[in-house]
Chain A
Amino acid sequence: MSNTTADVIIVGAGIAGNSAAYYCAKKGLKVIVLEEEMIGHGGSSRNGGGARVSGRDAREMPLAIYATRHIWPNLKEELGVDPEYRQNGYLVCGYNEEHKKGIQNRIADAAKMGIDMYLLEGKELKDKHPYVSDHVTCAGWTPTDGVANPLTATLGFYKRARELGARFITGEKVEKIKLYKGRARTVVTQNGNTYEGGKIIVAAGFGGKEIIKSVGLFVPVFKRLIEVIVTEPMPHMFDNMVGGMSGFYGQQTVHGSFVFGNALGREQCFAEITTPVSSSYNPANICHTIGVDIPALKEAKIIRTWSGWTDMSVDGVPIIGNVAEVPDLIIDIGCTGHGFCPGPASGYTLAQLANNETPDVDISKLAYERYDMAKKQPQYY
């Protein structure tokens, strides 16, 4: 094989692409990863680092469960890089009766999947989580959820995959996929290079939408800006992930800094901006929200804000798997802002598909074909 030919061509060096490269390399497959920007440029490095199962749509829960049970706990040893995974629970704050009902619904959803989640109120809430203000009247608590470091996790998979022989090329923007006798085979880049693979995996976030369009596939995915603030390192306050029914989420990192994000509801209007930059709106909103719920953090100094794109699918869960119409093409797109935690399980699954194995995780509900109206079950439309 030439150096532009491989068993698997992976488009996108995010957490799914990098972990897929790692698992493929582990299986002895020859892998080439093509990335438009640098390693971990997109959403994989731009998220709050929540590693949670709770609060998820049942269709994607199996991936998150597999990741938190079988992958995250062992990653530090496996990769030789510390992804700072800590299974210290997830607290989701509520402020009114409506939120309490929402939390109770989540508890019921979790129970169906065998996940323990509890409602905390009153004294118990204050005793266990003394940092939250009186504004928080109820909360959901999932002890098996946790947090990780998106930066080191994404780079860690890259580092290990590279050590195992996966070839990564950055600054190589894939423009289209070419068919060979009806099967996906070749990718063509903006630099004019072509790469051939037995399987093509597209795990390129929102950028994947345009790429798979080239073989006549269309995914209902749009782009949304996320914005996050990061503080200076602070004395230890909590180890768990914290979120709010209002939409905020965040953690205190191993390093001591706090990382918090939130949404205002106007994020998809920024899609016309070509590079993700912080808006003048959201960081102030995040700071205000956190100040109300966790008053002690008002003193913490923000040292940076950052932003990124999430690829939002219209029905809130990703599109992952083989595409029946185009054999040898495997896609992972539309993670909708919660693809980090299940990311390694997605990569694990993508690698199994690339190796023609039956996946360990049930991803049948995430198929591209679910949008087909003939399926007559689009309760989300």
Chain B
Amino acid sequence: MSRYLDRSADIGEFIPQPDDDLIICRCEEITKGEIRKAVHLGMWTMTEVKRLIRPGMGLCQGQTCSKHVKGVIAKELHISPAELDDLTARPPMRPVEMGVFGNEVESHE
């Protein structure tokens, strides 16, 4: 079960910041401001933010940006980053062509 979160709790207003244009997820070119706005729309977990606006959904699957996305969300929610669950780890570890992944051969002794 996830951590208890009352989504009606007050996290304050969205206040624009000078570095809102800073790109946090470079695969999907998602800025800090976009992530902050998503939090104010109610996206209070890494996964919800990812599903709504795509940080961590690109080629590197969050390998580079996850830590920073987490930091931005946590700050917006006034909590510690450790309170946020990581994105689910999913195969494949690296991008693989469909033709290769579909070409399964048997391993032999």
The residues of B that contact A328 with a CB separation of less than 8 Å are none
B102 smallest CB distance to A (angstroms): 3
A315 smallest CB distance to B (angstroms): 31
Contact present for A169 and B95 (CB under 8 Å): no
Kindly state whether residue A158 has any CB partner on chain B within 8 Å. yes
Q: Give the interface residue-count category, chain B.
A: 20 to 34
Q: Which 10 A-B pairs have the closest CB atoms?
A: A287-B102, A298-B99, A288-B102, A151-B51, A301-B95, A168-B7, A171-B4, A171-B2, A287-B98, A287-B101
Q: A38's contact among B45, B54, B101, B102, by CB below 8 Å, is which?
A: B45
Q: A167's contact among B7, B59, B92, by CB below 8 Å, is which?
A: B7
Contact present for B98 and A291 (CB under 8 Å): yes
Q: Which residue of B lies closest to A275 (CB)?
A: B88
Contact present for B102 and A162 (CB under 8 Å): no
The DSSP consensus for interface residues of chain A is: mixed
**Contacts A/B (CB < 8 Å), 6 sampled:** A36-B2, A38-B2, A39-B48, A190-B1, A191-B4, A284-B101
The residues of B that contact A168 with a CB separation of less than 8 Å are 6-8, 42
A260 smallest CB distance to B (angstroms): 9
B49 smallest CB distance to A (angstroms): 10
Contact present for B42 and A170 (CB under 8 Å): no
Q: Which residue of A lies closest to B99 (CB)?
A: A298
Kindly state whether residue B43 has any CB partner on chain A within 8 Å. yes
Query: Contact flags (1/0) for A20-44 with B, using CB distance below 8 Å?
Result: 0000000000000000111111000
The residues of A that contact B19 with a CB separation of less than 8 Å are none
The residues of A that contact B54 with a CB separation of less than 8 Å are 255
- Which of B5, B91, B96, B102 has its CB near the most chain A CB atoms (within 10 A)? B102
Contact present for A232 and B43 (CB under 8 Å): no
The residues of B that contact A298 with a CB separation of less than 8 Å are 97-99, 102
Kindly state whether residue B108 has any CB partner on chain A within 8 Å. no
Query: Contact flags (1/0) for A270-283 with B, using CB distance below 8 Å?
Result: 00000000100001
The residues of B that contact A162 with a CB separation of less than 8 Å are 7-8, 42
Kindly state whether residue A152 has any CB partner on chain B within 8 Å. yes
Q: In chain A, residues 258-301, which have Cβ atoms closer than 8 Å to a Cβ of chain B?
A: 278, 283-291, 297-301
Kindly state whether residue A304 has any CB partner on chain B within 8 Å. yes
The residues of B that contact A232 with a CB separation of less than 8 Å are 59, 95
